[in-house]
Amino acid sequence: MEILAFGVQADEKPLIERAFHGHHEIRCLDVFLNEDTAPIAAGHEIVSTSVNADLGAGVLEILAAGGTRMVAQRSTGFNNIDLDTAGRLGVTVARVSYYSPYSVAEFAWTLAMAVNRRIVRASTRTRDFDFRLHGLMGRDMHGRTAGVLGTGKIGEAFARIAHGFGMRLLGWDVAENPACMELGMRYVPKDELLAQSDLVTLHLPLMAETRHLIDGAALKSMRDDAVLVNSSRGGLIDTAALVGELRAGRFTGVGLDVYEAEAGLFFLDKSLEAIADDTLARLVTFPNVLVTSHQAYYTEDAVGQIVDATVKNVLDYREGRRSENVLVPRS
């Protein structure tokens, strides 16, 4: 049986092919799954998708009509999947519930330090043989306060790095993480965390309750010289409101690896096209903003774990087993 994998990056392809070797044939496509590309899956019982796939009701209807009975998503997030429709159509859905939290936590810190120490601006200058230091002054993180919104595995890994910097730790989550508390983290209300933190980082899932968690009011409550980092889900931040605050000259730096309207943009080469998204176009013009294309997870370690878990999800489906990765069980 051949499995069809959508949205496969060039670096990811050999890892996927090697992992599936000896189990199932797999065909990797670099196109993303949406209503236009879904008909390609006709005749394939199992498809594998990336985090930016469109798995809304319309796409699932096309997949089911073409004979697809299982979707194996290569990500932890699943806010792009209409689970109710999948259940109604009898399409099993599985995701990857765990991969290296260090990949995302370390990248979040990379963004934080890059904007704090003006690395992009400095690199651009030196390429032009401009070696002035004017405008490149950053701040020590030691002794300052890191506010971690979401203290699961990734948030905990971020907090451990912050602890190594000698930072004071504030946390906000629905449940307190004892490991974070052992580091000295104090759990406080969100408003208090935002008001007191020099560095605010987001490590939360995107759901109705967390969409635009960082809205206009939340942004205004933050320190003018704060650093804001989001390596989780773009919809956690009201980007239009963020642009408004940046235009007012606020924040030392903002590092974003995700964007709420990234579907159809991220993972693609748009360098020869006019970008119709005015908010993103404005966002990337600010000298204190660094935007990357959802690459925080993209390490050999994490992608290897994601691929291995995807293989296991497929084998579990074929053998009728159910694991913690299953979102919609086999009917």
Residues with a known catalytic role: 233, 262, 294
Half-sphere exposure of 304 (CA within 13 A, CB side): 5
Residue labelled with tokens 């498809």: 47
Mapped onto helix, strand or coil, the DSSP state of residue 118 is coil
Which residue's structure tokens are 């969100």? Answer: 190
* Whole-angstrom Cα Rg for the chain: 21
Beta strand 199-202 with 145-149 is: parallel
Q: Name the residue type at position 61.
A: E
Other CB atoms within 10 Å distance of the CB of residue 253: 26
* CA separation for the pair 178, 151 (Å, rounded): 10
Other Cβ atoms closer than 10 A to 80: 19
The H or E element that residue 168 is part of is strand 168-172
Distance CA 264, CA 308 (A): 27
Buried b or exposed e, range 51-71, using 16+ CB within 10 angstroms: bbbbbeeebbbbbbebebbbb
The tokens of 305 are what? 């774990």
Give Cα separations from 131 to 40, 123, 124, 135, 278 (angstroms): 53, 10, 10, 11, 33
Q: How many CA atoms lie within 13 A of 222 on its CB side?
A: 30
